[in-house]
A and B are shown apart, each in its own frame.
Chain A
């Protein structure tokens, strides 16, 4: 598995494509800016949403119990899964009881986190991802590279090729309208035939036991309303206290994600359809551990809008696949180490700590601060790359001793031309700063 730095280097090797990827996502950021500037109350909305989430997390246990009771009273089956393995087993059991071998699934990053598709495939069950972007990457055997725009790393030529291979569209046709129509027909067939539908959950309301699913395409609804069995998968942090709270979140979500006023569909599932079985699976998978750590608790406020991805100058120039796990970008970099420290130790360092992410986050997650905290925790856990720990100790020693610092500085300036070598990563594409004859302190001494 390549580290973020290695994968990014490969990504950037195609400079033109990197520029295209960067500009495409910057444009989404710009749309978000435009939408946010129209509302004078924008910053107040962010603060309000942040407080609602803070309050919810401070009372999460109570809200989860309240949600469960209401949902059950409305006829929804409520399941709890401690981890990804349990989650997948529960989902499988429900599908197996129905006997389905193929089913439709709308976007759920949680199911990516649990690798649900692969798990079910091993059990002989095919999952058809129905979000257009997700279906495209599914055909290509790739992971989504963005949690809202899964195929943002692909050009229309790429999609054209993929659809030619899998849907029989004419070779060379890259017209988005034509390709989308082809996908509509293809997936419509699956919607009409599927007896089981899996969806994600954007928000779950403790007060009423209902849950909300937001899409632009209508794929979650096409699946759920025709299926005999609807399984909704959610992380325990998706709870919000009251239905009225949805006003703030639905005003912030689409504007932050794409600059749209609201997603085309914001579907409120309160009770199963007559004759339908509705299930909801509540997943922990490390979220309680995050909740218990005051440094990282705030990451659970996330509403998966990906505004942080779009604003991140590093993400835009490295692509989602460089983050080597399901949720990329800034939020991914503070969530992933909680799941696997060793595998994801590079991610909190894939950042300049510029702070842009924290300031576009609709729920005011202090992402850039959490990146800093993770750096401390990961180094303390002994996960520094070879030589770094020693190098840092040397630096700390030198900088604690004025005389040694001055001597070290003087030597560095005297022999700085030695650093003009391919061994020095700085020197690969940049000139070294010119060494002045005197340091400031040396000059000041003579003043």
Chain B
């Protein structure tokens, strides 16, 4: 008997429990900009962006993630932002490579649309079929050394966002 058969065979019938369906009553009064700041991202105007990162680049699609290892500043477009937590949904279609937003030193994201909360976010993703997508909320961080927050763990050291919505 395969492990699969063994495992499935051990799962006996259990009393019916209904799925509760969609969640109702979620808060909607969030401020995307404020949430971005809470997660450690910086919000700038297009003019400020020019001043901060005049040498930023957009990169061509590549199959070689390592070719992006020396990228200082990566500029990309996010599909939408989530006001409740400052997260931005990105798909691999919008990235030169899946590793891009992690391997670069500094990340710049343009956001055109904002939804209030995660429930609305997943409504947006109803027909999403991308091979890889992520909610990215701020620069990488850790507090693993005596609970001291350090910005810039293994992913990007900073996140700068321009809101066009």
Contact = CB atoms under 8 A, between A and B. Distances in A.
Direct touching of A and B (C-beta under 8 Å): yes
B141 A216 contact: yes
B19 A51 contact: yes
A217 B142 contact: yes
A182 B73 CA distance: 21
Given A80-B3, A275-B63, A250 B135 contact: yes
Interface stretch (B42-50, B51-59, B152-160): B152-160
B141 to A, nearest CB: 5
Interface residues of B, number: 72
B133 A156 contact: no
Contacts, number: 234
User: Is the contact region of chain B dominated by helix, strand, or loop, or is it mixed?
Assistant: loop
For chain A, the bracket of interface size reads: 35 or more
Contact of B129 (A55, A59, A177, A270): A270
B94 interface: no
Interface string B85-116: 11100001000011100110000000000000
A261 B86 contact: yes
B39 A225 contact: no
A170 to B, nearest CB: 16
Given A41-B26, A80-B4, A262-B87, A58 B141 contact: no
Contacts of A288: 7, 10-11
B165 interface: no
A59 B14 CA distance: 7
Interface in A268-317: 268-275, 282, 284, 288-289, 291-292, 297
A284 B153 contact: no
A284 B7 CA distance: 7
A265 B141 CA distance: 10
A431 B133 CA distance: 62
A241 interface: yes
B147 A54 contact: no
Contacts of B147: 24, 27-28, 149, 152
A155 B148 CA distance: 10
Interface of B: 2-4, 6-8, 10-12, 14-20, 22-23, 25-27, 35, 38-39, 63, 65-66, 69, 84-87, 92, 97-99, 102-103, 117-119, 121-123, 125-126, 129-148, 150, 152-156
6 contacts: A82-B7, A133-B144, A225-B65, A268-B132, A270-B129, A288-B11
Given A57-B17, A221-B98, A243-B125, 8 more contacts: A54-B17, A55-B17, A61-B8, A156-B146, A184-B153, A226-B66, A261-B85, A288-B10
